[in-house]
């Protein structure tokens, strides 16, 4: 027996369950359309008349997303370094300091754009 058969069977079963769940929710779910469901969704904010006419959209949502990504990436990369910092020596210290400097640039950019002002 081929050693890849169980993996292929698992992928087929997972695909069938995914497609079956979507099909079941489409067939059995309620079909009540209203204005809120049919309205465009952009960052959770109602678009202003200027924004729908090609004006500027508020960037608050994007700045919050950027904050999450910056700090998430920072933690993911600094945690393993903190665990093994003794084995890495000076090279590890210089690499992490370079990383912290590079991760500070988008943080300062967001701070200057007003991403931390929750008014």
Per-residue pLDDT of the chain (119 residues; tens, 9 = 90+): 788 999 999 999 999 999 999 999 989 988 887 776 666 665 565 655 655 555 565 667 777 777 888 788 788 888 888 888 888 889 888 988 998 898 888 788 878 877 777 66
Percent helix, strand, coil in the chain, to 5, is 70, 0, 30
Nearest-angstrom CA–CA distance, 48 and 27: 36
The tokens of 119 are what?
Answer: 């008014």
């Amino acid at each position: 027996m081929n050693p890849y058969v169980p993996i292929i069977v698992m992928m087929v079963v997972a695909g069938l369950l995914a497609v079956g769940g979507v099909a079941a929710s489409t067939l059995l779910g309620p079909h009540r359309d209203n204005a809120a469901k049919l309205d465009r969704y952009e960052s959770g904010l109602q678009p202003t008349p200027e924004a729908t006419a090609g004006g500027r959209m508020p960037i608050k949502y994007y700045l919050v997303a950027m904050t999450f990504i910056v700090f998430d990436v920072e933690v993911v990369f600094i945690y393993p370094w903190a665990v093994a910092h003794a084995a890495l020596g000076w090279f590890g210290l210089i690499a992490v300091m370079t990383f912290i400097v590079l991760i500070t640039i988008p943080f300062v950019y967001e701070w200057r754009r007003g991403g931390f002002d929750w008014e």
